[in-house]
Amino acid sequence: MRFDLVLDNWQMFAGGLWMTLQLTALAVLIGFAIALPFGLIRARSNGAVSRLINAYVYAFRGTPLLVQLYLIYYGLSQFEWVRDSFAWVILRDAWWCALIAFSLNSGAYATEIIRGAVQSVPEGELEAAKSLGLSPFKVARLVLIPAALRRALPQYGNEVVFMLHGSVVASVITIQDILGVGRTLNARYYLAYEGFLTAAALYMVLAFVVVFTFRQLEKRYLGYLKVAR
């Protein structure tokens, strides 16, 4: 085992770590921005818009992330009108294609998380807010959304970990994330395990940090529910 080569190339892994953190964090943030309004609509409406959102959720939850990435990175480039459009500046770049695929995928899963959290908020809390004379908008902003987001924390922590693990597919379109750097190291020095073992260790550390962070958030924001029981 030549872990001295890993130490000699630590800057490569530092760059891969930064790339993974960028993609994961941005995808989760953009996915949340998509999921919050979509989840509210799914929970409170059965109209045409809700059905369109359901179709989006079904499409991205029902297909593998790798296929979605391939369709965006390789598939869209097959259309001449895409290559001639202003969007080609973004879609010809592997990083942007990965971010788009990851964000849409995370948004689909997070939409269902938020929908379930909204539906789990007791109607009594909402009725109490309405009895104070609050408008529907204020009820949603001050009561419904905060209560739903608190309840969504455990499931959302899992989604962040899943997105972190799913980000490994970025390496198949030449992005040098953690796994991509591990592959490069193995190929450069004809290694079998060292690059992959180092990548696995880094992913485990990142997953631990995410889990620990969400556990602390749960203790702070969900503690009152445990006391109520």
Q: What residues contact residue 148 under an 8 Å CB cut-off, 6+ apart?
A: 39, 114, 117, 118, 120, 121
Compute the half-sphere exposure of residue 66: CA atoms within 13 Å on the CB side of its CA. Answer: 5
Per-residue pLDDT at 226: 62
Per-residue pLDDT at 227: 52
Q: Average pLDDT of each block of 10 consecutive residues along the chain (229 residues)?
A: 85 96 97 96 90 96 96 92 90 95 97 95 88 88 92 94 96 94 91 91 97 93 65
Domain boundaries, the chain: 3-228
**CA dist list (Å): 199 to 6, 10, 112, 172:** 10, 12, 30, 15
d(CA 114, CA 112) in angstroms, rounded, equals: 5
**CA dist list (Å): 229 to 143, 223, 224, 226:** 20, 10, 9, 5
15: buried, middle or exposed (CB in 10 Å: 19+, 13-18, 0-12)?
Answer: middle
Top-tier CATH class for 3-228? mainly alpha
Per-residue pLDDT at 225: 64
Per-residue pLDDT at 221: 85
Per-residue pLDDT at 3: 81
0.75 exceeded by pTM = yes
pLDDT above 70 covers a percentage of the chain that reads 97
d(CA 118, CA 152) in angstroms, rounded, equals: 9
